[in-house]
Structure 1
């Protein structure tokens, strides 16, 4: 429940009194007093630490799900001065009574801006959850093919696992698209059509489009789309800021600032002040198709044409399947060498040397 007006706060307090909720009563009274005295810092502190105060007072553990966390970095007072309120979270997140669950791009912001500096620095051990490893991604493909009742040849399952970098959401959506096509056997064309469908108008397309549109609106960056398109053309190579600046006829600092902000939203990867595309082929294809017409100033493409563009591109990529198949078999051998499971790090080292 979002409370904006003073009357709503008083109504909430009346409800808390009726429910005899000691924690909520305490928080609301403190907030009302801070609001009455125009103490902005105390209002923010109570708002951030309120859930913990309620849970601790009531001896009843709760959790807070944090979304759009980046907005707290832009909170300003009436004069427009940005308020540094990150430190307030020091108290708000401590203890076992009020867990804070963070998802999406906010994870990167918290890692870069909170857990590595200030009062919370070195107090947490950061564990990054990676994508599914190769073996698990293949197993998921087989399981979904069985569930959706079609045949998925191993070489195409391997290609899908490689193409989606092991993201379960992508694998599921693409194979569900195969299921909707009512095809009983997956070949290169069926797989290409399903990926094209998802990237150009399916659930993956809608999800990526909403996320990107939301980011652009919240940050008011007019050249995000163009920069993302040009950046996607560098594939796995470092993004050349100067070249993009020349193409867009804007200062280099503008491009660099935009890339830096996009790295906070996990749209771009930053490594020691050098920027790269995220290792996500689906997002790269989406960006190229979605924003090609905008950057090149060509008339809007209809969905059928966009699918054909994606299909042709993917079919050219599918010629690499034989190489991927060999690599996959080698990886499986490395993983299960002498009937023993080998840790991912050793298997990855083996694959790099095999290539």
Structure 2
């Protein structure tokens, strides 16, 4: 285990879950920097998904568990907002991490050093390339334009001159767009950043939260176009979202029914902050989360007066405060929220401009400001149509804000209406139990790695190869009027159609026929000609007639006992017991 720090982790180990595979993968990739196998990457995901926590843990591990690659962490939220000051601090931050990594017993002191205190350390202990680049940066402090260009490329130059492998972990990279370069001759910070990204011995790993703006304005055009490989950072997989809910409930002594946790994961899109906030709310109220109605109540309370309300409200209000035309940005946002999912089009922009007595350009400036804050997103390549991001609880908050702001309603009334809404959406007990089974199957399929296993797990006498689903495992896919619970897509022609029944009652021949018909519809709609591999999971097993029909049509089939064995084979927990 690594010693504590240098950076304090936000999430305790007791509730940190799901991201270990990500950490292990990136740790190994970064160790390939000396062999020039690591290239600059962008990790993009919505806010509050845990990107910063993962970055801090990755940096701490790189700091303590290897000696070959110098790790540098920087969060752009904490950086100056003018070009020359930003660039000087960016390079100074590199120097602090450079020496802290080499003098670990002094790392806390070194990470607090100011520029003037770093210079003698460089002169006395730095290699030739580091001394040369630092002297060049220091000599340009009265020339904002040259300082910005040289300092931003400084670490890459050091890596080239001294042949020193370095990796930058840059958090909230979309804030680069907010840096004011007026004093530096209106430099484009994307262009200034480009040389640093292209260093073979100094790759840059960045995160971004404002997904559409990040993708379009940083990665999709301009100097950084095609300079990063992109990886998406989504919510927790359902299996781990369930695990998070259970871990968060332990300090309160709460019961959390696994099927209710699965529904919470679905309702929040696996957002770890939302999941923990709802569980904390239930804990504070003393409510056991063992039925869908209690989950609906806890969620409604937190969206209107709890941690979710506080976080989303602060985020939205801070964004509106930062907008140059606060009243206009607020009016645009409320108008969008009032439309309840309908897109905000060019026609709407003209109408708002007319009603507010402003130009259409000012309306679009407000829209772009909201999009940079990841509250709304652009829905077309021209940036003329916008919608609220696909965050269900943010949308609920904004609809409540419309009620309170425009119709003089109260948050208490909004809370009650959300409760009834959630209760309708959460569905029946059988629905939530079904989701739980699908969550376990989905994660199991994501763990398939190409190995062959005994056919006993799938009702056949031959070995079965479990392919790596390199493309994706898709849930609830519709093909015409038919629906497949899980579709596994490999990197080749092979693909799987999977049905899940997480219940005690065995599957009969009628349900098998229904699945076979859905598979035929899926095959007809599939772009290739290959037949899917068909797999049917039924926790309660199958009738004799159903098993016979499955064998006749070469369908793999698994009961609850065999699935638990498969789960254990891949290091996963067995399915939780069903209620009596």
**TM-score where L is the length of structure 2:** 0.50
Deviations 1:246-276 (A, max 9, x none): 4671344433332233223321122214322
Q: CA deviation at 1:94?
A: 2.4
Asked if 1:320 is matched to 2:444, the reply is: no
Q: CA deviation at 1:30?
A: 1.3
Q: Which moved more, 1:165-174 or 1:115-124?
A: 115-124
Structure in which a larger fraction of residues adopt strand = 2
Tell me which residue corresponds to 1:277: 388
In structure 2, what is the Cα distance between the partners aligned to 1:56 and 1:107?
A: 32
Equivalent position to 2:260, from 153, 156, 159:
156
Query: SS in structure 2 opposite 1:83?
Result: coil
Residues 65-214 of structure 1 mapped to structure 2, 5 A cutoff: 65-67=170-172, 69-72=174-177, 74-78=179-183, 82-95=186-199, 97-105=201-209, 108-142=212-246, 144-145=248-249, 148-153=252-257, 156-188=260-292, 190-214=294-318
Asked if 1:354 is matched to 2:465, the reply is: no
The 3 A distance-change label for structure 1 pair 127 and 101 is: closer
The 3 A distance-change label for structure 1 pair 62 and 278 is: same
Equivalent position to 1:237, from 339, 342, 347:
342
Structure of higher CA gyration radius: 2
Equivalent position to 1:265, from 353, 357, 373:
373
Tell me which residue corresponds to 1:14: 120
Query: SS in structure 1 opposite 2:303?
Result: helix
Structure 1: any 5+ residue segments left out of the alignment? none
Asked if 1:288 is matched to 2:399, the reply is: yes
Structure in which a larger fraction of residues adopt helix = 1
Tell me which residue corresponds to 1:32: 138
Q: CA deviation at 1:169?
A: 1.9
Q: CA deviation at 1:212?
A: 2.9
CA contact (8 A) 1:150 1:184 kept: yes
Structure 2: any 5+ residue segments left out of the alignment? 1-78, 89-113, 446-456, 459-465, 485-580
Q: Which moved more, 1:13-22 or 1:157-166?
A: 13-22
Q: Which moved more, 1:200-209 or 1:240-249?
A: 240-249
Deviations 1:264-298 (A, max 9, x none): 332112221432221111111222334644445x4
Q: CA deviation at 1:171?
A: 0.9
In structure 2, what is the Cα distance between the partners aligned to 1:185 and 1:64?
A: 38
In structure 2, what is the Cα distance between the partners aligned to 1:309 and 1:152?
A: 26
Alpha carbon RMSD of aligned pairs, Å?
4.0
The 3 A distance-change label for structure 1 pair 55 and 66 is: farther
The 3 A distance-change label for structure 1 pair 314 and 123 is: same
